[in-house]
Chain A
Amino acid sequence: MTAVAAPPRTAPTWCSHCLAMSTRPRITFDDRGWCNACRWAEQKRTLDWDARLAELHALLDRHRRTDGRFDCVVPVSGGKDGSYVAHALKHRFGMNPLAVTVAPALPLPLGEANLRAFIASGYDHVLVTPDPEAMRVLNRTGFVEMGFPYYGWLIAIQAAVLRVAAGMGVGLVFYGEDGEVEYGGSTETARTPVYGVDYMQRVYLEGGYERVLDASGLPRAKQQLFRFPERDLLARSPLDIAHWSYFENWDPYRNYLVAKAHCGLREADETNAGTFTNFAQNDQALYALHTYLMYLKFGFGRATQDACIEVRRGAMDRRQAVNLVRLYDGHYPEEFVPLYLEHYRMTQGEFDAVLDRWANRALFEKVDGRWTPTFTVT
């Protein structure tokens, strides 16, 4: 199967296996019309996971401590993915993980309860809370300048987590999934276990990191938890950063089942807005805005992402996914708007003007004040 570049930007197309959309940055399709995430899911079935496991053992053996000190750091939110990784490191691989959370700006009660339950299930934990005003300013700047409504938090879950690891002399940090590889994007790290700070800044923060920090107007002293560890700190306390999804077949549904069974994870009583699931991303209100902006920019939202995961794990077929995406995708998060306006100190008009700035006119038109797709998911 040869990879071909995405077709020219006329009408959007969709992966013939899942519903990944041609508008997604760095997506490619093969001659069957399968996206790189589906091809990767296919490859994962025959991948030599034993070899990957051996690599994991080697990596862990290099870092494992028997003197009681922490030997790895796991960023967690209390949700299924971080909980799964922490649980695996502790109970399957005998490591001594330190779990680290960066407090989101607008936490949700269920998310806070899940985090408490996770910690109570037996983990050491550090809660990093950047100065709320600094977080607010960076979120707002990210929202306006890049259409990333919780950019401050996105920076901090990398920068601050690495700073905690380096500061405590822990040399290994495990993120969960490599989103680029799993969901259709750059495949640079598909075959690389461990990487460095530079790669993170380049790919995971969409290259806007420096720009947003400068545009924020925050004094340097307020930016500490948003800045990656300095070279001199890293020289004293080097960091190996890895994604768990390199070493083990990443399965969000499996993570949910394990977190539910062992880490006290609870689901929402109702369906989460903009999708059809209730067991993911329950920690912060800004996630709904993040996925709504993704929808406006690219034409796919949370429901599409969740549907693609379900299709790839064989729990539904593409036809069923189309029905659900048509029904649930692209939800304007009106239930959270008052929270957003207060957080950004904007009026409804200013807020909608920012959304307008990011709406892709090739995909949407404004009907009755709402951006409405001109395409039909097929």
Chain B
Amino acid sequence: MRRVIFTLLHDRGRFQLSRNFRLQAIGDMRWLLGNYALPQVSRGLDELLVLDVTRGARDPMAFAAAVERIAGECFIPVTAGGGIASLDDARTLLRHGADKLLVNGAFHTDPTLCRSLADTFGRQCIVAGIDVRRAASGYDVLTAHGTTPVGVPLDDWVAHVQAHGAGELLFQSIDRDGTGMGLDLGIVDALAAQPDAPVILMGGVGQDAHIVEGLMHARVSAVATANLLNFIGDAFLDTRTALAAAGVSVARWDDGEVVALRDRFAEAA
């Protein structure tokens, strides 16, 4: 079964839309929860990904609090990350509701840390964020919000992150980011071999058809979208229907179940 992941980009209390890695502040937590009723909308999602995309001075505790708030709204896996630079950073996020960690820059600046994260929390807990941009031939990998080339070819980088603990691989297209022009499937086609680790593709989703197209590609395990505007309301539930109609294997869960279970054991004290 394939997955749909909703990504939330957090910058000092406000959620962002990103276009080619340039940010536009859309709204705060109240805006987010007001426009996305997560308890309902999450029935159309497999996972959430919450990223700290602050360019300036980080506030890890404020970010962790935001993760906690979001995680508390639904019962699906939550991945959190952005700027993880120590075991403590990781522990803080896991204690605040994250199930998995997204690690990007540390694979470049401190790969030993990445190994430790995997050893401590388990490889399945580590998602490697890999940001790519089309080059003259193939793709360049960049970190630090698309500013710093890692300096090795894409396949070598994929091998590097897997060797240092990555359990999943999240490829994000800088070119397509925020454009609504569809995912860059060329990225997964460019990989010399299908990695053993699951592949998540992100960047360019505007409408359902883009998600369907992504999940129909043999090499793609999950599609992530950070398009905060286009899925307002319960649009992700419609996405689910569109996927099923297109014959993509995705999980479905019964409607109405959850409400009936609330406080089921309250008198059993």
Question: With A and B bound together, what is the CA distance between A327 and B17 in angstroms?
Answer: 16
What is the chain A residue whose CB lies nearest that of B31? A327
Evaluate contact between B233 and A323: CB separation under 8 angstroms: yes
A268-B24, A320-B232 given; 18 more Cβ-contact pairs under 8 Å = A253-B179, A257-B179, A267-B24, A269-B24, A270-B24, A314-B206, A315-B180, A316-B207, A317-B207, A317-B208, A320-B230, A320-B231, A320-B235, A323-B232, A323-B233, A324-B232, A327-B35, A327-B232
Contact between chains at B232 and A315 (CB < 8 Å):
no
| Nearest opposing residue in chain A for B27, CB measure | A271
Q: Is A276 an interface residue (CB 8 A)?
A: yes
Quick check: is A310 within 8 A (CB to CB) of the other chain? yes
- Inside 8 A of A315's CB, which chain B residues have their CB? 179-181, 206-207, 230
Closest to B208 in A: A317
**Which of A271, A310, A313, A317 is the one whose CB lies under 8 Å from B26?**
A271
With CB as the reference atom, state the residue of chain B lying closest to A270: B25
Contact of B229 among A253, A269, A324 (CB under 8 A): A324
Residue B238 interfacial (CB < 8 Å): yes
Docked Cα-Cα span, A269 to B56, in Å, equals 14
Q: Distance in Å from the Cβ of B135 to the closest Cβ of chain A?
A: 16
- Quick check: is A211 within 8 A (CB to CB) of the other chain? no
B217 within 8 A of A: no
Kindly identify which residue among A260, A267, A271, A310 contacts B206, using a CB–CB cutoff of 8 Å.
Answer: A310
Q: Which of A281-333 contact B (CB under 8 A)?
A: 310, 313-317, 319-320, 323-324, 327
Q: Is there an interface contact between A323 and B24, defined as CB atoms closer than 8 Å?
A: no
Within 8 Å of chain A (Cβ to Cβ): is B95?
no
Closest to A324 in B: B229
Whole-angstrom CA separation of A64 from B20 in the bound complex: 36
Interface of chain B residues 191 through 211 with chain A (CB within 8 A): 206-209
Question: Are B24 and A316 closer than 8 Å at their CB atoms?
Answer: no
Question: A16-39 interface mask toward B, CB cutoff 8 Å, 1 = contact, 0 = none?
Answer: 000000000000000000000000
Q: Is A374 at the interface (CB under 8 A from chain B)?
A: no
A316 CA / B25 CA spacing, docked (Å): 19
Interface residues on B, range: 20 to 34
What is the bound-complex CA distance between A244 and B159, given in angstroms? Answer: 48
Instruction: Kindly state the separation between the CA atoms of A260 and B23 in the bound complex, as whole angstroms.
Output: 14
Question: B202-232 interface mask toward A, CB cutoff 8 Å, 1 = contact, 0 = none?
Answer: 0000111100000000000000000001111
Q: How large is the interface on A (under 10, 10 to 19, 20 to 34, 35 or more residues)?
A: 20 to 34
B22 within 8 A of A: yes
Q: B232–A267 contact, CB under 8 A? A: no
Which residues of chain A are within 8 angstroms of B181 by Cβ–Cβ distance? 314-315
The proximity string for A residues 145-173 relative to B, scoring 1 for CB distances below 8 Å and 0 otherwise, is: 00000000000000000000000000000
Interface flag for A278 (CB, 8 Å): yes
| Contact string against A for B residues 16-49, beta-carbon threshold 8 Å, 1 for contact and 0 otherwise | 0101101111100000000100000000000000
What are 18 pairs between A and B in contact, CB < 8 Å? A260-B20, A267-B19, A270-B25, A271-B24, A271-B26, A276-B229, A314-B181, A314-B206, A315-B179, A315-B206, A315-B230, A316-B180, A316-B229, A316-B230, A319-B235, A319-B238, A324-B230, A327-B35
A308 to chain B, nearest CB (A): 14
Query: What's the Cα separation between A270 and B16 when bound, in Å?
Result: 9
Sorted nearest first, the 9 A-B pairs with minimum C-beta distance are A315-B180, A315-B206, A278-B24, A323-B232, A320-B230, A317-B207, A270-B25, A316-B230, A323-B233
- A44 to B195 alpha-carbon distance, docked (Å): 42
CB-CB nearest in chain A for B182: A314
Closest to A315 in B: B180
By the criterion CB–CB under 8 Å, are A316 and B206 in contact?
Answer: yes
Min C-beta distance of A316 to chain B, whole Å:
5
Q: What residues of A have a CB within 8 angstroms of the CB of B235 in the complex?
A: 319-320, 323
CA distance A278 to B18 in the complex (A): 11
Chain B residues, CB < 8 A from A316: 180, 206-207, 229-230
| Distance to closest chain A CB from B186 (angstroms) | 18
Q: How far is the CA of A268 from the CA of B231 in the complex (A)?
A: 22
List A contacts of B25 (CB < 8 A): 269-271
> When the two chains form their complex, are residues B207 and A314 in contact, meaning their CB atoms are under 8 A apart?
yes
Contact string, A258-281, partner B, CB cutoff 8 A, digits 1/0? 001000000111110000111100
CA distance A279 to B25 in the complex (A): 12
A171 shortest CB reach to chain B, Å: 38
- Min Cβ gap A165→B in Å is 35
Inter-chain CA distance A317–B242, complex, in Å, is: 13
- The docked-state distance in angstroms from the alpha carbon of A267 to that of B178 is 13
Specify which of B20, B209, B229 lies most central, judged by the most chain A CB atoms within 10 Å of its CB: B229
B178's nearest neighbour on chain A, judged by CB, is: A315
- Cβ-closest chain B residue relative to A266: B22
